Amino acid sequence: MCAKKPNLPAIVLLASISACASLRLSGPQVVRVSVRDSNFKMIGTFDDQRTMTRFRQLWLTKRIVAFPRSCKLPWAFKIDPEPGSRWLYHPAGYMVMLSYFEEPYFEIPAKDEFNDLLGLANREVPLLPPGCVPDARR
């Protein structure tokens, strides 16, 4: 008897539901945030009440954006909310939760303030590849 092939659409759906359940970090549960560069070098960590409050406020403003499938963003930083999942981040304001699927993509509208908060204001970052513009902005 042959083994039954896995139901890939069901697996993808289950993975998406699982990822979506953790996408929205509720403010009170995140107690510390660490930021690393693309080589995993620690940039900084914050856990003070004032900074965490502002982080939560900005985090909750993120919105889903869609990039062309051919676009491969150069993720320059990693954001590690604790507890929570690792997020890949580009200072143009784009992020994605680290997962096999690398989607959905999100955008932080107040990217300059968010970058300052993360300690990224004066860091050199890779340019976005040509044509890597979210569909909502085309």
CATH of the domain at 113: 2.60.40
Structural domain total, the chain: 1
User: Is 49 within a domain?
Assistant: yes
Calpha distance 40→32 (Å, rounded) = 17
User: Is 132 within a domain?
Assistant: no
User: Is 103 within a domain?
Assistant: yes
User: Is 56 within a domain?
Assistant: yes
Give 123-132 pLDDT, tens digit per residue.
888 888 888 8
> What are 82's strand-pairing partners?
32
User: Is 2 within a domain?
Assistant: no
Contact 66, 18 (CB under 8 A): no
User: Is 109 within a domain?
Assistant: yes
Q: Which two tokens stand for residue 64?
A: 């889903």
- Whether the model clears a pTM of 0.85, i.e. scores above it, the answer is no
Q: Measured on CA atoms in the order 126, 129, 135, 137, is the torsion positive or negative?
A: positive
User: Is 11 within a domain?
Assistant: no
Helix (H, G, I), strand (E, B) or coil at 122: coil
Give 99-131 pLDDT, tens digit per residue.
888 779 999 999 999 999 999 988 888 888 888
Structure letter (DSSP) for residue 87:
E
The domain in which residue 62 lies consists of 25-124
